[in-house]
Every structure is written in C-alpha cells, then in structure tokens.
C-alpha cells in the first residue's frame, strides 16, 4: 500500500483523493510496489473496513488527481494516460495516452455520458462512453 508523500514522481507514494460508492473504495496512488513489482502509480479497490486491497492495477504513471467513479467504472489520469477501469474486477476497459507527452494530473470529470480529461499542457479531451 502507499504512504503519504510530497512528490509521487520522486519515489514517495502519494495518495490521491479517492472515490467511495457507499460499499466500495477506489484509491489511486503514486509510485509504489505491488507483489514485488515497482509501479509508477496504481488504482485499487480497498475494503473500507480494514484497508485490504481487493484488486490492484499497476499503471504507467502516478495518479495525482482524484479517482472519479460511476456505477461499474472508475477513471483516473496516471502520468500521460487516462484509464477506465471496471470496478468489479479491476480490468482496464480502455486507456488513452496523450501523444504530446503531457500529464493528466487533474481529476476526470463526467457529464452527460462524456468523460473529460485535461493535460498539464492545456489540452482537453472528451471521450464518449
């Protein structure tokens, strides 16, 4: 599991704001180790009662923005990539990598069936779900 830190890209595993649907807690983090593998970032479902991970995805970048969840899907920006993750299994449903190499460090927004993600470089992407 991650520990708090000031610089997730520097090796301290900061924890992003999480999403909770009343039963399931979804947590993103910066650099951390999962089953002996160093991950640049993660998203995981955690048991709210005891903090045990239900599933964990190792991602290609740190998760700094809040995890955004709707029934069945959680969204995170992790480094240069946006991910849609199935909340029941942790399966990555789709991902999009910014071709300019800019970071998705803000929270993902969902409105009227569209997913919005912005990069640190000022690009705004809209994905139809």
For the chain, domain boundaries: 8-128
pLDDT score, position 21: 85
- Fold entry, domain 8-128: Lipocalin (2.40.128)
Residue 64 clears pLDDT 70, i.e. is over it? yes
Beta strand segments in 23-80, E: 25-29, 32-34, 37-39, 41-46, 53-59, 68-70, 73-78
Segment 55-73 shows an average pLDDT of 93
By C-alpha distance, which of 56, 48, 61 is closest to 21? 48
Q: Which two tokens stand for residue 44?
A: 């995981």
**pLDDT tens digits, residue range 32-54?**
888 999 999 999 999 999 989 99
- According to DSSP, the residues that pair with 27 across neighbouring strands are 44
Mean pLDDT of the chain, nearest integer: 88
Residue 119 clears pLDDT 60, i.e. is over it? yes
pLDDT score, position 32: 86
Segment 104-112 shows an average pLDDT of 92
Residue 108 clears pLDDT 80, i.e. is over it? yes
Indicate the pairing of strand 41-46 with strand 37-39: unpaired
DSSP secondary-structure letter at 113?
A: T
How does residue 101 score in pLDDT terms, banded at 50, 70 and 90?
confident
Reading phi first (left if > 0) and then psi (alpha if -120 to 50, else beta), residue 6 is in alpha
Beta strand segments in the chain, E: 19-20, 25-29, 32-34, 37-39, 41-46, 53-59, 68-70, 73-78, 81-86, 92-97, 109-111, 114-118, 124-128
Residue 30 clears pLDDT 90, i.e. is over it? no
Residue 9 clears pLDDT 70, i.e. is over it? no
């Amino acid at each position: 599991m991650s520990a708090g830190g000031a610089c997730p890209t520097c090796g301290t595993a900061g924890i992003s704001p999480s999403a909770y649907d009343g039963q399931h807690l979804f947590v993103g983090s910066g650099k951390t180790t999962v089953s002996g593998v160093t991950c640049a970032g993660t998203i995981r479902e955690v048991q709210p009662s005891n903090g045990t991970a239900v599933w964990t995805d190792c991602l290609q970048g740190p998760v700094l923005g809040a995890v955004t969840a709707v029934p069945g899907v959680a969204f995170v920006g992790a480094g240069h990539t946006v991910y849609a993750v199935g909340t029941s299994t942790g399966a990555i449903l789709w991902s999009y990598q910014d071709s300019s190499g800019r970071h998705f460090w803000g929270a993902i927004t969902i409105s009227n069936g569209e997913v919005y993600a912005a990069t640190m470089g000022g690009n705004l992407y809209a994905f139809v779900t």
